[in-house]
Structure 1
Amino acid sequence: MLLPAGAPASSLPAAESFLRRVFAPYLAGSDAIAPTHDPAVFTAEMLALIAHDEALAGQEDPTLDGDPICYCQDYQPLRDLTLAVRATGRNRASASVAFANGETRQRMTFMLVATTAGWRIADIRTPQDGSLAALIRQGIAKRQRLNSSPSATR
């Protein structure tokens, strides 16, 4: 059987296992679990974007104003989790994820990267907002424009 170029087929179960570990606290209904600063969950690049946006936001809400894993600010224990992982490139995979948060069904795509430390989330895409990384970059650009405008220096 020929496999498409991408992450080795043997590593795709590890990618799925990684995401199942990320979602486990949400399924159990744990409190305060948004892993937005966790290097065991996100790539260094995504963590840097989040940190840069938060630094520019100062006392205002950053672009990422919620939990990116469940795409929510509040949640009930998630249920009916489904994951489908496929290779998308060398050491890269995408995972189509669906779950129920209360009465709301959510569908998301997690872009994963195999690092020397294991699989990490490089981006999250939702039907509502598209790419989280792109959304944060847009927020950073907007804040930089506002901070550099002449009215910002007065």
Structure 2
Amino acid sequence: MRSLAGWISAAALIVANGALAQGAASADAFVRGLYAAYHGAGPDYLGRQAASVFAPPLLRLIRRDIALTPAGDVPDLDGDPICDCQDSGGLKLIDIKVEGVEGGHATATARFRIAADRRIVKLDLAAVQGHWRVSDIRTAETPSLVAYLTRSLRAVHPKD
């Protein structure tokens, strides 16, 4: 019986390690897909594709920022947060590194160039109904998109 229990334990470890690797691989594939979309016509991450990119809490903040912006004005989020840019023309991915895949969360660091400008964007990922979604975005200028949008929305509507 001990050997059967040993085999079961070993099998469980192999399955668990495979699940972890699959989680990291799927997170990597999700992020690579985000940046691959910049070739050609480019993505519409703040429009029709938003729900397949952002986790619900971040998506609510983005949509609220847009909805509360007066006609003719620019929202606080005035560019594409995935590339941290307003013009993604010529975006060239250099590297993606996914770390900390645990409990339905991960962090991906994307390094890329737009023309001569090198950029690093960190994406906090969350598993939402079995799919990876971006739950926060961190750049050198904006340490947390969630915190930035929360602060800017509170400044405009302090009662909310």
TM-score range, shorter chain: 0.7 to 0.9
1:92 maps to what in 2? 105
**2:94 maps to which of 72, 81, 97:** 81
Task: Please report how far the alpha carbon of residue 8 of structure 1 lies from its aligned counterpart in structure 2 after TM superposition.
Answer: 2.8
Shift of 1:115: 1.5
Counterpart code for 2:51: P
Q: Does 1:72 align with 2:82?
A: no
Cα deviation, 1:68-106, whole Å, max 9, x if unaligned, reads: 111111122211431000125410000011000001000
- Structure of larger gyration radius: 2
Aligned pair 1:47/2:59, yes or no?
A: yes
Residue type at the aligned position of 1:30 = A
Equivalences, count: 140
Q: CA RMSD in A?
A: 2.1
Q: Which runs of 4+ in 1 moved over 6 A?
A: none
Normalised by the length of structure 2, the TM-score is 0.79
CA deviation after TM superposition for structure 1 residue 10, in Å: 2.3
Aligned equivalent of 2:46: 36
Could you report, residue by residue, the CA deviation over 1:32-86 in whole angstroms, capped at 9, with x for unpaired residues?
x240241111111111111111222222211110111111111222114310001
In the alignment, structure 2 segments of 5+ residues that lack a partner are 1-12, 14-18
1:57 alignment partner, one of 44, 69, 87: 69
Quote the residue 2:132 is aligned against: 119
**Aligned twin of 1:13:** 25
User: Amino acid of the residue matched to residue 47 of structure 1?
Assistant: L
Q: Which amino acid aligns with 2:154?
A: A
Query: TM-score, normalization: structure 1?
Result: 0.82
One-letter code aligned to 2:69: A
Structure-2 residue corresponding to 1:151: none
Same amino acid, percent of matched pairs: 32
For CA contacts below 8 A with separation 6 or more, give which structure has more relative contact order: 1
